[in-house]
Structure 1
Amino acid sequence: MTTLSHKSTVQQTATDSGHHFDANRHWAAFLTLGFGAHAEAETSITRMNIARHYGPLRVQRPFYPEGRDGCCHVYLLHPPGGIASGDALNIDVTVAANAHTLLTTPAANKLYKADSNGVAWNQHTHLKIANDATLEWLPQETLAFNGSRGEQTIIIDLEANAKCLGWEILGLGRPASKLPFVSGRLEQRFQLTRNGRPLWIERQCIDPDHPRFAGMWGQGGATVHATLWAVGLDDPQEAITALREHIPATNHWAVTYRRGVLLLRYLGIERNEAWELFQQAREVLRPRLTGHKAITPRIWLT
């Protein structure tokens, strides 16, 4: 009878479960959510009617801080608190006709330094929004540690009258610990379509070894990148005017509108400044997009 050592047992278990600790390292997780509008007592209530998960991605119960007939708030949970080499996270969200959903996270997401094999991570998010439905995609910021390597993809598919308000905030390095982002490589991909027609396609590579990382014609040494988008505004030019009147003017943000997509960009060095900017922008845009004032998710206050 052969007896395996503890080390051999751990290695065999890791291999059998699909996990590796070499260049083939891989740990998959997925979360599939579906939301629908349900008639109840002469009103319409958005309910989470699909919630499937595998691995360390899940949600708890929905919240209704705006009333039972208001927006359905759901918090996306990733218990590890960050993404490491080999992680492959897939989030798939469908919002059916007439439903209104807000998705956010309880804390900042962390992108950890790549392992000794340089294995990259991957995060793929697919948001599908049906006619007359609204989705607010409002995750807290993402913090990339020095040496992180990975790819983040966000695909947003809207039907004819769907509406979406969302943002992504990325901070590079850990300035408070004097650990700048001087190595690694990140890639962000955005794709937004309406009825299958591309409206916004973007690819951004963040590489400290590339001249654009420090060049004034490119990133110019900025350590915080952030993009807010809004689709479905009745009067986008009026919304832009309101943004410029409501938000203090600085050299760190700008707003544009093309092909039905309003984009507000931040490029600077202060993560909190970007977060405050986007909250102020949401106060302006949400009433114009949904007819309801901007309610702060409770999880942001804990």
Structure 2
Amino acid sequence: MYDAGVASQSTASARELQRVNGHARAGFRLSEGSTRLANLYQSGAAKIRLPKVYDEPTTAVLINTAGGLTGGDRLSLEFHLAVGAHAIVTSQAAERAYRSQTGPAKVTAKFQVGAGAKLEWLPQETILFDASNLSRTIEADLAEDAGLLMLESVILGRKAMGEKVRSVFFRDSWRIRRSGRLVFADDVRLEGDPEVFLAGPATTSGNLCVATLLDCSPQAEDHLNLARSLIGALPSDRVRAAASAWNGQLVARLTAVSGQDLRTALVSFLTGYRSAPLPRVWHC
């Protein structure tokens, strides 16, 4: 069986190593009151599957058939929602960034959400292994009354597996525009030993599992009390979280002692915030 973790530690030169180059895009439209697939393209390791769902929005499941990412890998994802469509995009499993010897792995995601449409971007967590190097960019263009709910969570080493991350490079850049105007920008850069740069109270007080939720919709500010009540129900000895809202958007940040604590908190928070269960792949 191919083991990406072992392969990423190979001393072979970059010219001798196979690299992931995946591209997937999908479009959705509203037809007879239901959201339906309008177009689909996939190449390389990037795949999209559309499971049957009942009484839930159309759901697209992302799969990286390479099993993870390492230096030099490239993944490009695009989703377009036409007027009135509603779709959820999630992932089959956690994404993994393995040890890199040849520069960063790069992931780009682009969303276009039309008038009255809503995209829920709810992938499972990204796990950063020791000496990994990952650069990710997310861009969204929203119509004036479109909605975007997006989550990204990161785990720096799996505590239950006894993993230690001594060095990591991770860069994450979000740019959200509404009717062409930049309404949200967020940049995160993690470099070095996470037990050092995350130790202080201004970062995560030593927690190595973090998540950011963005609700960018006309009703987002109205949900602040709900978000804070859901945060208040989380176990404060295992999870730290806060939420704020302004200018038509709500942001919640969570940190946790372990990956399992973070996942449990996210399932509880998102189920309550969305008033709906998470996609089934989250529970597999």
What band does the TM-score fall into relative to the shorter chain? 0.7 to 0.9
| TM superposition shift of 1:104 | 0.8
State whether residues 63 and 74 of structure 1, in contact with CA within 8 Å, keep that contact through their aligned partners in structure 2. no
The equivalent of 2:8 in structure 1 is none
* Alpha-carbon distance in structure 2 between the residues aligned to 1:222 and 1:236: 28
Match status 1:79 vs 2:85:
no
State whether residues 165 and 193 of structure 2, in contact with CA within 8 Å, keep that contact through their aligned partners in structure 1. no
**1:208–1:21: structure 2 CA closer, same or farther, 3 Å change rule?**
closer
Matches within 5 A, 1:55-134: 55-66=44-55, 71-115=57-101, 118-134=102-118
* Alpha-carbon distance in structure 2 between the residues aligned to 1:283 and 1:26: 37
| TM superposition shift of 1:62 | 4.2
**TM norm structure 1:** 0.81
The equivalent of 1:53 in structure 2 is 42
* Alpha-carbon distance in structure 2 between the residues aligned to 1:232 and 1:47: 22
SS at match of 2:14: coil
State whether residues 131 and 169 of structure 2, in contact with CA within 8 Å, keep that contact through their aligned partners in structure 1. yes
* Alpha-carbon distance in structure 1 between the residues aligned to 2:247 and 2:254: 20
| TM superposition shift of 1:219 | 4.1
SS at match of 1:82: coil
SS at match of 2:166: coil
Matched residue count: 267
The equivalent of 2:203 in structure 1 is 218
The equivalent of 2:129 in structure 1 is 145
| 1:170-221 CA distance string (max 9 Å, x none) | 0002322322221121111111111111111111111125864433333432
**1:55–1:99: structure 2 CA closer, same or farther, 3 Å change rule?**
same
Match of 2:212 among 227, 231, 238: 227
State whether residues 128 and 158 of structure 1, in contact with CA within 8 Å, keep that contact through their aligned partners in structure 2. yes
The equivalent of 2:283 in structure 1 is 301
**TM norm structure 2:** 0.86
State whether residues 23 and 119 of structure 1, in contact with CA within 8 Å, keep that contact through their aligned partners in structure 2. no
SS at match of 2:76: strand
**1:23–1:187: structure 2 CA closer, same or farther, 3 Å change rule?**
farther
Q: Which one has a bigger Cα radius of gyration?
A: 1
Show structure 1 runs of 4+ deviating over 6 A: none
Identical pairs, percent:
24
| TM superposition shift of 1:258 | 1.9
* Alpha-carbon distance in structure 2 between the residues aligned to 1:270 and 1:209: 17
The equivalent of 2:20 in structure 1 is 27
The equivalent of 1:236 in structure 2 is 221
State whether residues 159 and 259 of structure 2, in contact with CA within 8 Å, keep that contact through their aligned partners in structure 1. no
State whether residues 25 and 119 of structure 1, in contact with CA within 8 Å, keep that contact through their aligned partners in structure 2. no
| Stretches of structure 2 lacking an aligned partner (at least 5 in a row) | 1-12
The equivalent of 1:289 in structure 2 is none
